[in-house]
Structure 1
Amino acid sequence: METYNWNSFVVYMILISIKLSDSNEIKISGPGLQPQNIVMPARYFLVNFTYLNEDSYTPYLGKNLAVEINGRSTKSNYCRVWVNTLDRKDGTFIVRYKVYETCINLSISIYYKNKHIENSPFMFEGPIQPDQCDCPDEDFNLWLKKYGCSSSYENIINDLKPFNKLDMSTQIQKIVQKYHKPESTSFCHYVIKKNKIYRDCYGKHIGFNMFADNILLSLARKVFLPDMELVINLGDWPLVHKDSEPLPVFSWCGSNDTVDIVMPTYDLTESALENMGRITLDTLSVQGNVERKWNNRKPMAFWRGRDSRAERLKLIDIARAYPELFNVSLTNFFFYRDKEAQYGPKQPHISFFKFFDEWSKRLENKVTIRDSMTHVPQPKFECNCPLKNKNIHEEL
């Protein structure tokens, strides 16, 4: 039996080698193969062995895959690039790389068993800019096209449609008058003028403005943004009730009873902006740290969090009523300490890795910068922008 298993393994590996001789069996794709056009905190591309799946995958594959990324900087023959390969354990590898300075003559070499795969190395004259570079594209529509984005998205159009013909100055006054409750709400009024970011924040706890700042600053480094103003709710609960006057407030969350304009939560945006930086838990790295196959995972809703809303306590009640469908626990008691005995015991935090394991017509408004507003500057970073920006932008 041992001889049979060994012979089967040898035959299997020979078949793999034969298959790999057909270059069509390996497909390379992703935005990381357009580094001159697409600037990201961490660029990435996929290496897909198309004949494999989760069931036929073997760890042997990853040991024979190698990626090298080299280039020159404007000051030396070496360019600082960090490469990281993530094995999804289904025949697909995510290769991500972070550029720390302006690079030229960048080469991406992909090897399997010490041999280049088809079209490798991939060559790019450059310049290849790091994400910190303040080198915005002047044409907004062209920038969207370069990044593979649609000119419009139905969800965004539907969310913004109720506010097409509103005077933002009036709306801002209404929002401040209604929701400025320093002890319980926090929000910021942002103005983008000539691609610079300004804000006025309201509330006692406004530290979360860093997340909104980072999103806007990152976009402004990549493209000249239209002049605009918006209000972003910094709290973890929506503000605008559906039975009240609809006001244009962006929030990280929504509910059936509210009409806030919902955008991706700061956890996800920050993990993308800090990918391969100070954030190690992101939607890419998670895919390379899953141990169990999909079929081996439990078909349950899994949740952990603190007691910041009464609805979270209700979730505990639901989970206890349907334990076969929910795995729910609180990790800390702060707001409802008197109910810890009822809704505890609290459970330790779960690693993010393990968590996954077990708008058309517009009204033009004059965008003005108020004297009270704070300018949010771009971080200082030495860059070699290819062209001097002409400050071309479209006003909203």
Structure 2
Amino acid sequence: MPLLSTKSKGESLKKHRQQIEVPLDCSAHELTKSCPRSYPTTTDEEDPDSNLNATCPEYFRWIHEDLRPWAYTGITLDMVERAKATANFRLVVLNGTAYVEQYQKAFQTRDVFTLWGILQLLRKYPGKLPDLDLMFDCVDWPVIKSIDYGGPNATTPPPLFRYCKDNETLDIVFPDWSFWGWPEIRVKSWVPLLNDLMEGNQRMGWDEREPHAYWKGNPEVAETRQDLLKCNVSDQQDWGARVFAQDWKKESKAGYKTSNLADQCVHRFKIYVEGSAWSVSEKYILACDSVTLLVQPRYFDFFTRSLKPLQHYWPIKPNDKCRSIKHAVDWGNTHQQEAKAMGKAASEFIKEDLKIDYVYDYMFHLLNEYGKLLRYKPTVPKNAVELCSESMACPAKGLNKDYMMESLVKGPSVTSPCTMPPPYDPASLRNLLSEQENSIKQVDEWEKKFWENQKV
């Protein structure tokens, strides 16, 4: 297989290498019904002028924590196979080739676009990932409970990948499918969508926005969302919230005309509240330049553990939402510079620390560290099929195909993944969690005084 660049080392030192583009070979796939073998299997040495030592964002440090249950035992075949109980699919990567054994179809196209994202990772960094064998569960709720694997005689937990977890579970968090598109509700893949959101921010400055807190979503999936509806404005009370129930069936018939995320950055405050578990909406809300009013969550995904209260968001009490929102909106409208800075810090975090290159780098480092823990040589499962970008995108139709093509990695990266930050030591992790807790307590104190003053 030829290298990606034919330039000499001396020439490389003089100028940046150009990324080569390797288009999908649908004609070969159609002819042979098999995956083409023309894609590079390795990359040339790095561009010496590129910033090879860029350190990954802070949230990458949680990779070490998520894999800690297997740090000393490693991961055996038995452990992986015990994770099959709820898995939607098993993914094996051997010498850079992906194989998938499907167990049960996921809701909508979660599994399709998750697998598509992994295939794009293999296109971005060919030859860099170790052999892998993993189980993936596309359902919202984490299932590997810590309590089941504690004590002196406990077994090691099965490693199971999914989109979120909480403090009582050991599931391994992985970027969700929507980074590559969510065709069922017409949410584009991350690069064009993030561009749309940033353009939407430019259309209306924070000062010009509605001085209220906005939320729109499906309240049927969770009691906490139904509770939020009580905070809507009424003849008797204005809590500063404007909340709307999203009827997806009605929206579908209307062509999703009122669901464009980039058109929803018109309020100074936006509310995030969990659904049945965590919600993919969090990144879209944080990207809006608005102050994110974050109803204190139970679940977290791969990047949200680095969000800091009063820097990236304003915490809202889950059991006293309306009064908490009222206080937050009042604070923001009377402390506009601080509120504006908080909204900007969140959108900058999303734009810079959650750009698609870092999403891929997170996947790379997580899978790389996971692969190091395997104590056996993976083999192709009996019922697995080979998967490649051609086998997914070439026969795809409609929005599925559109989103795959717009999120297709054009060719191998000319730079390495960012450099993994070190794990947290116990003291620094305690300090981090303590700082977050203290910020939330500070808001509680302010809120208490606010309501006491209302009575005077």
Higher relative contact order (CA 8 A, sep 6+): 2
| Superposition TM-score, scaled by structure 2 size | 0.43
Which structure shows the higher helix fraction? Answer: 2
